[in-house]
Every structure is written in C-alpha cells, then in structure tokens.
A and B are shown apart, each in its own frame.
Chain A
Amino acid sequence: MKARFALGQYTYTNSLLHKLDPRVKILLVFSLVVFLFFVRTITGYLILFVFACSLVVLSKNSFSSVFRSLRPILLLLLFTAVFQIFFTPGRLIFEWRFIKITAEGLRLAIYISIRLILLSFFTFILTSTTSGIELTDGFEALISPLKIFRFPSEEVSLMISISLRFVPVLFEEADRIMKAQMSRGAEFNKGSLVNRARSFLPLLLPLLLNALSRADRLAIAMESRGFVIGKKRTRYREMKLSGLDYVAIAITVSVFVFALVVKEIV
C-alpha cells in the first residue's frame, strides 16, 4: 500500500500562479469547470486546451506530472467515451453486427473526453499551485457570505483543513498497523469473503481507536491554546487582491468568452 499520497500534488515553485490569491484561483477554476460544458465547438476546446497548457508551463509543472494526475480518471474516461460511442442514437456511420456507431455518438464521446481532460487539467493547476491551507482559507472566504443564513462557514472550513491534514497520517498509520499485524502472522488477502472481512478487524479497529484518541488529543491541544468554537480568529496570512489577480481574471474571462463565441473552423 502506498503510505503517502500527494493531495493535489502541491509543489512549491515560485511561479506567478503560486502568487495569485487563492480566492481568485478557486473562483476562476470553478467557473471554468462549470462553463466548460457550454462550449459547443472543437475550436473552442482547442483554445481552452492551449490556455490550459500555457498555464501548466506558467506554473512550472512538468507535463509528465499533469499526465500522471490524469491516470486515476483514465478508466472513467474510457468508460464514458465507449458508452457514448455505442449507445447514442443518430446518423449511422459504421455498422458491424450489433455494433453501431453514430456520428452524434462519436462527437459526444470526443466532447466528453475533452471536457474531462480539461477539467482535470484545471483542477491540477489549482491544487498544484495552492497549498492546503490556502485552499481552505480561500474556500472559507468564499463561503463566508453564507453566514447570514447562520451557516457555520468557519467551522466547516476548519473541519475540512483538519481532515485534509490527517488523511496522509491515516494512510501511514494503516500501513504501519498492517505490517505489525502481518508480523504476527495475519494475512489480509486470503480465504473466503467473510474471512477476509474478518481479517480486517485487526487493522480497522486499532486505526479507528488511534484516530479517536488523536482527535481527543488534538481537541485538548487546541483548547489549551485558546481555541473556542465560534470565536473570531485573526489570521497569519491576510488575503488581498493585487494587480496580478485582476490581470488573471481579465485574461481568463477573455479567453473564455472567446472560446464560447468562436465559430467552428475545423
């Protein structure tokens, strides 16, 4: 089992994209992802693809790491593409026994694949240039207007940041407990389904118990350092929009509008 995994592959290189305000980045990527589905032309997607690639270059990421981040969605991609190709009704362009491919199906499959790939490109760029803390700070700021509906935005974002922080810890711990139980002769992949499920008890139980006691210690540590739920907290990093952010917004919006209105040229 992989003991650690990189959440969002955040790597610190000191690029322009790292300097952007996290709120701006989150908002831009979010709207890009939503409006991605309104682009109707291949040309439009090509423009967005070139835009995404230049962002990757700007963020000083290597393309190999981008493609590595695509790996988990590959199966999903393949599945939806195949599904669209074979099961969309329309003008037949290929037929062999029960296999029927329609022009509409092919078109849809291509669109969906491009959308998914672009989607993961953009989220990769966001998560690789924004640290976990920045992400949750940005997220908190963005959902804070919900406070007027008594939505506990601070608590929710604190919960998210704590969870993010402890996911890798949990993985490491699972790895260690598994090894320790294997040292006592435990086997995790042998026997019937029932036996297998039961063999996970020596892994899951300690994992849960340790997580609970860790949560307990964390709560005590936070309280002893003056944390009170709902009380106003100041921050170490104040978020402020700079000229760079306005430039980023302007560029993104214009590229996007262009991609939306451009006529098909291929």
Chain B
Amino acid sequence: MIVLENVSLTYDSGTIFQKAAIKNVSLSIRKGESVSIVGKIGSGKSTLVQFFNGLIKPDSGKVFVGGEDLGSKETNLKSVRRKVGLVFQYPEEQFFAETVFDEVAFGPKNMGLSGKELKDAVWQSLSDMGFNPSDVANLSPFGLSGGEKRRIAIASIIAMNPEVLVLDEPTSGLDYTGRNLLIEYLKNENKKGRTLVFVTHNMDEALEVSRRVIAMKDGKKVFDGNSEDFFTSEELVYGIGLDVPFVVKVWKKLKKRFPELPFCRSSKELVDFLYGGPAR
C-alpha cells in the first residue's frame, strides 16, 4: 500500500538551519497492517509520515502509494490524500469553522461529497469518535474541551473514509478515558481492515495497538519488525533511548513465577489472564 525506497530529506539545506531529518529510509506497509512508529523527540517521525500522503517530497528516493509513484506528474495528490488520511500532531490547532459540522465536513467536502452523502459521512465519523452527532454538530468547535477537540479533529479525517489512517501522536494531551476510547477505536478499525499507522511516544500504546513497530533514531530507521521482539529486548529499546513498556516490565517479572504466562500486549490482557485465565 505504502512503499518508501531509500528516501532522504534535508530541511533548509544550504542555510545555517540545515537539518538532515530523514536518512535513507526504506519501508513497506501492506494493506490491513497496523504499524506503530516510535522514536525520541526530533527523530523524524512526523517528517516520515508526511511522505505517506505526498505533503513533502524526498530529496532523493521514491514514494509509492497504492502502486502510484508520488514523484510522477500524473499522480493526483488529492486522491492520494483521500486514500491516506493523515491526522497531524495537535490537529485541533487547525480549526477554523463556525460549527463542528462544518469543521468535520471540510475534508469530505473537498473530496467532492455533498448533500446526504456528506451529512452521513459527518454523522458517522462523529459517532465513531464517541459523540452523539446531533448534540455537537451545531456547537462551536472552539468551545469544546481539549479532548473533545482532539476527537473532532480526528473525526474530520475519518469522515473522508481513508483506506489508510495515519495518526501523529493522537493521544498526547488526552485524558485517560479519552485515550482508551481512541485506542479501542483504532484497534477496532484495524480489525475491520483499515490500514493503520500510529505515531506515538507511549511505548505501552505502541505495543497494544500494533504487531509491527518501526523505530526511528536521528532520521534513520533502526528497527522494523515484530513489536513483541522489539519491546522484550532491553538492549534494543534502551539503545534507541526509549523505555520498555510498563506491561512488559511487569510481564517479565511475573513470567519468572508463572512460566506458562503468554505474552501480554496490554495491562488489561495481563489482568484478564491472571484473574480469569486457566492457570493460577
């Protein structure tokens, strides 16, 4: 679905601010996959995902989406952006509409939806994000709480019904329940077949959401593979300057006492197993 071949990018090259943000990265994301992208601050995560819908073009290397070369003149970037929905970091800072409805409708409208189709898309995405659509549609998006704003912003991308959903740190700044709601939604969407790319600082979330993890360090891809392998290897995780998920720390301790304990991706799985599981 998304393929990057030897992609590199330097920001502001030729000035004193020159910064090599992405260094020779190749990767391939298949349809229906769920991939988490982790890495320290400034490691190039946000830059990387902006290749996925053609917002930035690499200095060298190629980007393909659904087989189309994004560097080619014939490629319609708008249809690429419909296919790959990208939720920016702090997306609520881009609000401009008078009502929640208009805000969420902005994307699908640009994609050519109108009338009932448009309304259905907006209604569906609002309820996907846990709202009662008729309650919020006519409110001002600026008057909502931080968590609600975030969900509205995500709804505005979902409303375009993209095949691939890319979210750049969607959980940062959310409260506990807002975060859980979102994580559950993402896992569920992926189960239903939507391709998911999830950028996060929170290692527990990465482990819970995706079986595959891509780790970035200083613009280079330093790991790409099974998230269980990654997070159970302290050497790998600490080497990149990240932390082992809390669940994995607990799981490792428990595993010593209960050798039959299977790998757990979330605290909920762990608790379920300990209290409801077959062996104790």
Interface 1/0s, chain A 149-185, versus B by CB < 8 A? Answer: 0000000000000000000000000001101111111
Q: Is the CB of B160 within 8 A of A184?
A: yes
Q: Is A252 an interface residue (CB 8 A)?
A: no
Which residues of A are found within 8 Å of B50, using beta-carbon distances? 179
Closest Cβ neighbor of A184 among chain B residues: B107
Q: Which of B12, B50, B94, B157 has the most CB of A within 10 A?
A: B94
Docked Cα-Cα span, A45 to B157, in Å, equals 61
Which residues of A are found within 8 Å of B217, using beta-carbon distances? none
Closest Cβ neighbor of B166 among chain A residues: A183
Query: Nearest Cβ in chain A — how far from B31, in angstroms?
Result: 20
Closest Cβ neighbor of A185 among chain B residues: B110
Q: Is the CB of A184 within 8 A of B93?
A: no
* Residue tally, chain A, CB below 8 Å to B: 23
Q: Is B78 an interface residue (CB 8 A)?
A: yes
Contact partner of B81 among A3, A176, A185, CB < 8 A?
A185
Q: Is the CB of A206 within 8 A of B107?
A: no
Which residues of B are found within 8 Å of A184, using beta-carbon distances? 81, 106-107, 110, 156-157, 160
Docked Cα-Cα span, A182 to B95, in Å, equals 13
Q: Is A205 an interface residue (CB 8 A)?
A: yes
Q: Which of A4, A177, A183, A186 has the most CB of B within 10 A?
A: A183
Contact partner of A182 among B81, B85, B142, B160, CB < 8 A?
B81
Task: List B2-21 residues whose CB lies under 8 Å from chain A.
Answer: 11-12, 15-17
Tell me whether A181 and B94 are in contact in the complex, defined as CB-CB below 8 angstroms, given that A4-B17, A6-B17 are known contacts. yes
Query: Nearest Cβ in chain B — how far from A175, in angstroms?
Result: 10
The A-B contact count (CB < 8 A) is 66
Q: Is B36 an interface residue (CB 8 A)?
A: no
Closest Cβ neighbor of B107 among chain A residues: A184
Q: Is the CB of A183 within 8 A of B81?
A: yes
Closest Cβ neighbor of B95 among chain A residues: A206
Which residues of B are found within 8 Å of A177, using beta-carbon distances? 93-94
Which residues of A are found within 8 Å of B81, using beta-carbon distances? 182-185
Closest Cβ neighbor of B50 among chain A residues: A179
Which residues of B are found within 8 Å of A181, using beta-carbon distances? 94, 106
Q: Which of B50, B82, B107 has the most CB of A within 10 A?
A: B107
Q: Is A202 an interface residue (CB 8 A)?
A: yes
Interface 1/0s, chain B 180-200, versus A by CB < 8 A? Answer: 000000000000000000000
Query: Nearest Cβ in chain A — how far from B232, in angstroms?
Result: 35
Q: Is B58 an interface residue (CB 8 A)?
A: no
Q: Is the CB of B11 within 8 A of A3?
A: yes
Tell me whether A179 and B78 are in contact in the complex, defined as CB-CB below 8 angstroms, given that A185-B107, A201-B96 are known contacts. no
Contact partner of B78 among A2, A3, A176, A187, CB < 8 A?
A187
Q: Is A195 an interface residue (CB 8 A)?
A: no
Q: Is the CB of B88 within 8 A of A180?
A: yes
Query: Nearest Cβ in chain A — how far from B163, in angstroms?
Result: 14
Q: Is B111 an interface residue (CB 8 A)?
A: yes
Which residues of B are found within 8 Å of A206, using beta-carbon distances? 93-96
Q: Is B53 an interface residue (CB 8 A)?
A: yes
Closest Cβ neighbor of A190 among chain B residues: B78
Closest Cβ neighbor of B87 among chain A residues: A183
Q: Is the CB of A185 within 8 A of B82?
A: yes
Query: Nearest Cβ in chain A — how far from B166, in angstroms?
Result: 9
Q: Is the CB of A176 within 8 A of B96?
A: no
Q: Is A11 an interface residue (CB 8 A)?
A: yes
What are 30 A-to-B residue pairs whose CB atoms are below 8 Å?
A4-B12, A6-B15, A6-B17, A9-B16, A11-B16, A176-B88, A177-B93, A179-B56, A180-B88, A180-B94, A181-B94, A181-B106, A182-B81, A183-B55, A183-B86, A183-B157, A184-B110, A184-B156, A184-B160, A185-B106, A185-B107, A185-B111, A186-B110, A201-B96, A202-B96, A202-B106, A205-B96, A206-B94, A209-B142, A210-B93
Q: Chain A residues in contact with chain B, CB under 8 A?
A: 2-4, 6, 9, 11, 176-177, 179-187, 201-202, 205-206, 209-210
Sample of 9 more A-B contacts, CB < 8 Å, known A183-B55, A202-B96, A209-B96: A3-B11, A180-B88, A183-B81, A184-B160, A185-B78, A185-B82, A185-B106, A185-B111, A206-B94
Q: Chain B residues in contact with chain A, CB under 8 A?
A: 11-12, 15-17, 50, 53, 55-56, 78, 81-82, 85-88, 91, 93-96, 106-107, 109-111, 142, 156-157, 160
